[in-house]
A = this chain, B = another copy of it.
Amino acid sequence: RPPNADLQRAGAFKAVTSLANPTIKEIRALQLRKHRAETGLFLGEGVKLAADALAAGWPVRTLVVASDAIAHPFVARTAATARARGALVIEANEAVMAKISRRDNPQTVIGVFEQHIGGLEAIAAARPGIWIALEAVRDPGNLGTIVRTADALGAAGVLLVGETTDPFGLEAVRATMGSFFHVPLARASVAEFLAWRKSYRGLVVGTHLAGAVDIRSVDYREPAVLAMGNEQAGLSPEMAAACDHLVKIPMAGQADSLNLAISTGIALFEMRRGKLAL
C-alpha cells in the first residue's frame, strides 16, 4: 500500500494525532512545488476557502479539520459536504495543523484540492472576455491578488506565460481569498503564446514602461489579452512585439513604477470601463 493510499480513499473519516502519520506527511509535502507537481494536488487554508471550493464544484481530496473546531456549525457542515462528495476528512490536533500550515496560529481547516490548469485552448473554451497574461510573474502574493482582481472585475481568466511562481503555492492561493475557484487558469511557454497569438482574433494589449500610448487613449474591445511583464524586467521584447498596443499608465511621482498587481488592477479597470456597472 503506498503511503498516500488514504488520500485516495474517498468519503472516509479518521482522527490523527501523530506528525509521523503517513497521510499527514504526504499532505505536508504539498508545501513543496515539486511534490505538488508530482501529485497534481495543492493545499488551501481556511474553512471559507474549502466552502468556496465545494460551492464551485472544485474537486476536494481531503479536509484536515482541527479537533477543537469540528463542532462549529459552519466547519461541520463543510466537512459533511466534503465527505458526501467523496473527500477524506481528517480530524487533527493543533500541533498537526500547525505543522501542515507552517504557522503558529493555523486555520481550523486545511484542504487538499486537485490542480486544474489548462493550456491556451482554455481561452477559446472559456467565456469570451479579457485574459490577463502574466509573463514570468515571480511573487506569489502578486499572482494571487491578480487572480482575485480578475474575479472582482470580471476578467475571463489568467494565463501564466513562461516560468512563473506556482499558482498552486499556499501563498498564492491565500492571496486569492477564495477567487481561486472562480477564475480559469491556463499556462503556456512564450513560444506557444507567440504561435497561438497569430490566429487569435482578439486585441492584445501590453503594458510597458516604454509604451508610447496612454492607457486611457485606446478604444478597447473584447475579447482581449492584457499582457503584463514581471516585477523586475517588464515584458520581454518578444512578448512586447506580439502586442497590438503597448500602453503605459501615466504617473506623476518619483517612484519608478507601480507594484505589478496594482498596475494590473488599474489596467484591467481601464479596459473594462465600458462593461462595468454598479
List chain A positions with a Cβ less than 8 A from chain B: 141, 145, 148-155, 175, 177-179, 182-183, 214, 216, 248-259, 261-262, 265-266, 269, 272-273, 275-278
Contacts and interface: CB of A to CB of B under 8 A. Distances in A.
Contacts of A272: 252
B148 A255 contact: yes
A269 B273 CA distance: 13
A8 to B, nearest CB: 31
A179 B254 contact: yes
A141 B275 CA distance: 30
Given A178-B255, A255-B152, A276 B261 contact: no
Given A249-B269, A250-B276, A278-B250, A255 B182 contact: yes
A4 to B, nearest CB: 30
Given A149-B262, A250-B277, A278-B248, A255 B216 contact: no
A11 B276 CA distance: 57
Complex A-B, nearest 5 residue pairs according to Cβ-Cβ distance, in ascending order: A154-B252, A151-B255, A250-B276, A152-B255, A151-B253
